[in-house]
Amino acid sequence: MVRVGLQISATLENIERIETCHPNYSFFVKVKCTNCGETSEKWHDITESERLQGASDSRNPDGFNFYMKCKMCSRENSIDIVEKTNEPYTQDDAGKFKAIVVFDCRGVEPVEFSPRAGWIVHSAENGQKFEDVDLSEDDWVEYDQKNKNSVGVYEFASQFVKLKK
Ligand code: ZN
């Protein structure tokens, strides 16, 4: 079992913090089978509030946040979001990579992340709160009616980092 952290980096304009709408946020990832090295071509979604049953796994009757049988080697792989690892990305973190969630990976690891929709943006100085923000374009700009200035998320980037046990 390997723990992998998803780190993000962005530049924030007049924003105090951004966060995912966990546990209902869907992390869209491409995954790689650690047994045969096969990397998925399509995006898979991993959502903390949703659990899938494994085909023949009696060790975990509650299921997993993500489950798949590898097309190449037929191994059964799964991923769970580690509870309480969701972290906001704040003004203090801006421009640096910071982990916003940790995945427990069994036989498969995420290798690419697509941020998509479901982000919550809190403007600086008690400004407007924006919900269900879509970061698909890697840049996002809006106008804060409360503070009367523009707010933005720029240069969004992400990476996966293996964590030591
Ligand atoms: Zn495989």
Q: What is the pLDDT, as a whole number, of residue 107?
A: 95
Q: What is the pLDDT, as a whole number, of residue 118?
A: 97
Q: Is 4 helix (H, G, I), strand (E, B) or coil?
A: strand
Q: Ligand 1 mean position to 106 CA, how many Å?
A: 12
Gap between the Cα atoms of 55 and 58, Å rounded? 9
Q: Is 58's pLDDT higher than 70?
A: no
Q: Is 138's pLDDT higher than 90?
A: no
pLDDT digits (tens, 9 = 90+) for 30-48: 999 999 999 999 999 999 9
Q: Ligand 1 mean position to 146 CA, how many Å?
A: 51
Q: Is 52's pLDDT higher than 90?
A: no
| Cβ–Cβ < 8 Å for 14, 146 | no
Q: Ligand 1 mean position to 85 CA, how many Å?
A: 27
Q: Is 59's pLDDT higher than 70?
A: no
Q: Which amino acid appears at position 116 of this protein?
A: R
Q: What is the pLDDT, as a whole number, of residue 61?
A: 76
Q: Ligand 1 mean position to 137 CA, how many Å?
A: 31
Q: Is 12's pLDDT higher than 60?
A: yes
Give percent of the chain with pLDDT exceeding 70: 96
| Cβ–Cβ < 8 Å for 49, 23 | yes
User: Where are the chain's structural domains?
Assistant: 2-163
- The predicted model scores a pTM of 0.94
Over residues 73-77, the mean pLDDT reads 94
Q: Ligand 1 mean position to 52 CA, how many Å?
A: 19
Q: Ligand 1 mean position to 69 CA, how many Å?
A: 8
Q: Ligand 1 mean position to 150 CA, how many Å?
A: 46
